[in-house]
Amino acid sequence: MAARDPVLRVEDLTTEFMTDAGPITAVQDVSFDLYQGERLGIVGESGSGKSVTALSIMGLLERNGRIDRGSIRLNGRELTAVSTDELNDIRGEEIAMILQDPMTALTPTLSAGTQIVETVLEHDDVSRTAARDRAMELLEQVRIPNPETVMDSYPNELSGGQRQRVLIAIAISCSPDVLIADEPTTALDVTIQAQILDLLHELVEDRDMALIHITHDLGVVSEMTDRVAVMYASRFVEIGPTRELFVQPRHPYTAGLLRATPRKTDTEPELLSGTVPDPKNRPTGCNYAARCPHATEACREDDPPLVAAEDGRPVACVRTDELGYLPAAPTADPTETATERAGSGGDPLLEAIGLRKEFTAAESILDRVLPGGDPPIKAVDGVDVSLGAEETVGLVGESGSGKTTLGRLLISLTDRTAGDIVFDGEPLDSLSSDELRSRVQFVFQDPNSSLNPRQTIRDILGHAVRHHGTHDGDVDATVRSLLEEVGLEPNLVDSYPFELSGGQRQRIGIARALSVDPDVLIADEPTSALDVSVQGQILALLERIKRERTLAMLFVSHDLSVIRHISDRIAVMYLGEIVETGRTERVFREPKHPYTEALLSAIPRIDPRKTADRIILDGEVPDPGRPPTGCNFVTRCPHAMSECGERDPALVAVEGAEDGQRRSACFLHHDTEKPASRE
């Protein structure tokens, strides 16, 4: 094959799915070349066709899906014409894919090692012993600590980061020429995401593989790719070098995505209104016209093809040469930034003192006290936290830090082991269950699991209104009013949750929380699985509701770029303890704890011209049942000293802080030890 021949060439790929209502086109006229060693990003919102493009290339479509037309050539061979057996041989040896959800991609009844070994045996003529040795080498290459243990572990026994590494090991086991990574870091914490991205970058460089990285995270694309294709409603709308396209976008959709993405700075993102059109009912003309601020009547006549603009970049827009380059960053001065938010200066509305929660993992008391027995898991370990009236506190940390448990303790969804909780000046225990639920409400992370699938929206919200809310005798009118308040059409009252999009379901969860007119909202990762456009809409909705109803809010997230734009104050949590607190802008400007510093450094940069001075933390959050001796962070801290492994630092005020709210639990800034022993 000639030096500049593409390793993968896709031409006019069109994929459709057969449904009861007829065929639906999910990918339309997609074309691109991919060269050896090149990293191509495919970015766009959910429903744009990104994953279907990858599955079409891999020949892994569902039974009702088919390639209607087009060509897919890998190393010069036409994949649409090969037999199933030939395709099975090609997959793994020449092209491999890392699927989005490792829990569904891995077989739950086989150990991780067995699944790697079987992949090697399928494609290479080696002994089982040699295949197992190869599997061990692969686990080491993907930086899994204790690979011997992981070899014999089942997927449910591994963390999300470990499962993703196992999938990567399987994908690279036969050294493919092309690796497709479909949202490989979507469900991971920002620190683990940084590890996985660093690993993928290293593997592609060392093995000279071509990479297709599919994601809706523009920061990841900015750092990981050489070239990017922006996809919208089944079609590519713009393709170009990442450094050029992210700085000078030409298509209004590309520019809208970039401006809607939260950034590490205090620049407020611009809301990208609307959603991707339903593939069963796409509009006449340009698919993006209904959301485009530059649309004219000409845009509603024909769907523009992807053609070269005056600078040579392929763009699907009839006005591209007229509009020129569009702003990539928000241009309007924000009316309210995190720096300007005042929050509450009065007494706390909700306060926890010395809050502790232990979960017993052992089966008996003897197991807990005998050597080798399982100790209790200290999910929340002596936490002090407060929330003022009309204030938003962002609670941030990796999975396993105890954030969700802390939120549940504050609303008595989980019983505490020790500590005090005071609400509006009174002990929380003095409030009846009905009074507590009418004043403090919880917005759950996954609306799929918190909404009854057998009930309509009318039933779900109507029950909450009748049981806790105020409705003046007209429940149905109140339900419709709630839907309008969260930006939904009242005619959705007779819909079931499964008929709604993820963003719509999350709005229903917020409406249910608002039905009782609470004083406090505790929002647990309400935007973690949403596209940037829907994420922005939900954040704007929460901000508006908080302002109009004068609510206080605890916003739980592992995404600091989101926390930056909604919080007055930040509390950083690690392994059951608060390790830093302070005003949002000051924490971002000058983090005091090494863990906070690492979290901030791991935020992907949207602007590819800026290099990331990233701190890659080793490993993952330790087992909360067996925390390290001394400081919880000592095993991962790049600044750890000998005393950090001997004593546990207290959370105390930072010397020289302008206010009393900057606190840090680190011996780099003070020498105060935590008084309560964790043993």
Q: Which of 197, 261, 269, 275 is nearest to 232 (CA)?
A: 275
What is the chain's mean pLDDT, rounded? 88
Two structure tokens written together for 622: 């330790």
Q: Examine the domain organization and report whether 528 and 398 are in the same domain.
A: yes
| Entry pTM | 0.84
Asked whether residue 461 is domain-assigned, the answer is: yes
Residues 393 and 535 grouped into a single domain: yes
Do 592 and 618 lie in one domain? The reply is yes
- Domain check: are 593 and 638 in the same one? yes
| Residue 492 in domain | yes
Number of domains in the chain: 3
Do 275 and 372 fall within a single domain? Answer: no
> Is pLDDT of 335 > 70?
no
3-class DSSP state of 426: strand
CATH no. for residue 525? 3.40.50.300
Residues 469 and 509 in one domain: yes
Out of 498, 517, 536, pick the residue that ends a domain: 517
Same domain for 537 and 407? yes
**Is 318 a member of any domain?**
yes
Domain assignment present for residue 144? The answer is no
Q: Would you tell me the crossing angle of helices 475-485 and 502-514 to the nearest 10 degrees?
A: 130
Summarised one tens digit per residue, pLDDT across range 479-500 is 999 998 888 888 889 999 888 8
Average pLDDT of the residues in 57-67: 94
Enumerate residues 6+ apart whose C-beta is below 8 A from 422.
348, 350, 351, 352, 353, 428
- What is the token pair recorded at 146? 């204790």
Within 13 Å, how many C-alpha atoms sit on residue 629's CB side? Answer: 4
Given 461, 494, 517, the domain boundary residue is 517
Structure confidence at residue 306 (pLDDT): 95
The residue from 335, 363, 384 where one domain ends is 335
* Segment among 154-158, 235-239, 472-476 with least mean pLDDT: 472-476
C-alpha dihedral over 313, 315, 320, 321, to 10 degrees? Answer: 30
The token pair at 118 is 């079987």
What are the residues whose beta carbons fall under 8 Å from the beta carbon of 401, sequence distance 6 or more?
Answer: 573, 574, 575, 576, 621
Cα distance between residue 519 and residue 359, in whole Å: 29
The more confidently predicted of residues 24 and 187 is: 24
Give residue 86's pLDDT band: very low, low, confident or very high (50, 70, 90).
very high
Pair (411, 369) in one structural domain: yes
Residues 6 or more apart whose Cβ sits within 8 Å of residue 576: 378, 379, 380, 381, 383, 401, 402, 624, 627, 632
Per-residue model confidence (pLDDT) at position 42: 97
Q: What DSSP string describes 521-537?
A: EEEESTTTTS-HHHHHH
Q: Quick one: how many helices (H) and strands (E) in the chain?
A: 23, 24
Q: Same domain, yes or no, for 259 and 399?
A: no
Domain membership of residue 643 (yes or no) is yes
Report yes or no on 208 lying in a domain.
Answer: no
416 in Cβ contact with 409 (< 8 Å): yes
Q: Do 539 and 630 fall into the same domain?
A: yes
For residue 300, what are the domain limits? 251-335
Give long-range contacts, CB 8 A cutoff, 24+ apart: 488-492.
492/457
In this structure, are strands 440-443 and 569-574 parallel, antiparallel, or unpaired?
unpaired
- The residue ranking higher by pLDDT, 615 or 427, is 427
Please check whether residue 215 lies inside any domain of the structure.
no
Give the rounded percent of residues in the chain with a pLDDT score beyond 90: 54
The reply to whether 167 falls in a domain is no
Determine if residue 391 is left, alpha or beta; phi over 0 gives left, psi from -120 to 50 gives alpha, anything else beta: beta
Average pLDDT over residues 281-293: 93
Confidence label for 659 from pLDDT (cuts 50, 70 and 90): low
**Do 312 and 306 contact (CB within 8 A), yes or no?**
no
Task: State whether 478 and 590 are in the same domain.
Answer: no
pLDDT tens profile 16-27: 999 888 899 999
Q: Are residues 507 and 609 in the same domain?
A: no
